[in-house]
Amino acid sequence: MRMKQTGFTLIELVIVIVILGLLAATALPRFINITTDARIASVNGVAGGLRGALSLAKAQVLVSGSGGGTISMDGVAVAVNASSFPTGGVANTGIEKAMQGLDGYTFTYAGNTTTFWPTNGGNSNCKALYDADAGTVTVTSTGC
């Protein structure tokens, strides 16, 4: 009398393990690069916040009719230029006040521009740049 055996053979199990190993080897490099993706997403998030703060400040200037000077955004005094954009290039008076909550970011000022980059692991090629003269925000994410 012959008994019917059920289950996987050793060869089938080895083939499954090899296939899983190949899939893991191709997916692993993608997950290792997650830090760079996180920095890029963070810089893009800050740039979006800067654009939002810029739009809200401009709207506040238009509503209050006070171009150039100081406006109040949620009880916070924000300096604006003659073009009704928050000032840049001056420490903690314009765009930084309009957009609160920039923890983890470092700022530098040059002329009428303010540059924001991540404090941890950031460099000059991973930044959001605010130009107060033009009222624009640009992102550089190469080298994050």
Q: Domain residue spans in the chain? A: 36-140
Looking from the CA of 36 toward its CB, the CA atoms found within 13 Å total: 11
pLDDT tens-digit series, residues 24-68: 888 877 777 778 888 889 899 999 999 999 999 999 988 887 767
| 115 backbone dihedrals φ, ψ, rounded to 5° | -110, 135
Read off the pTM: 0.74
pLDDT tens-digit series, residues 80-134: 988 889 988 777 788 888 888 788 888 888 888 888 888 876 667 889 999 999 9
Q: From the centroid of its chain, how far is CA 143?
A: 14
Nearest-10 Cα torsion for 72, 77, 79, 80: -10
How does DSSP assign 45-92, residue by residue? Answer: HHHHHHHHHHHHHHHHHHHHT--SEEEEETTEEEEE-TTSSBP-SSTT
- Residue 91 in tokens: 């420490």
Measured CA to CA in angstroms, residue 77 lies from 33, 70, 73, 74 at distances of: 41, 6, 6, 8
d(CA 142, CA 134): 23
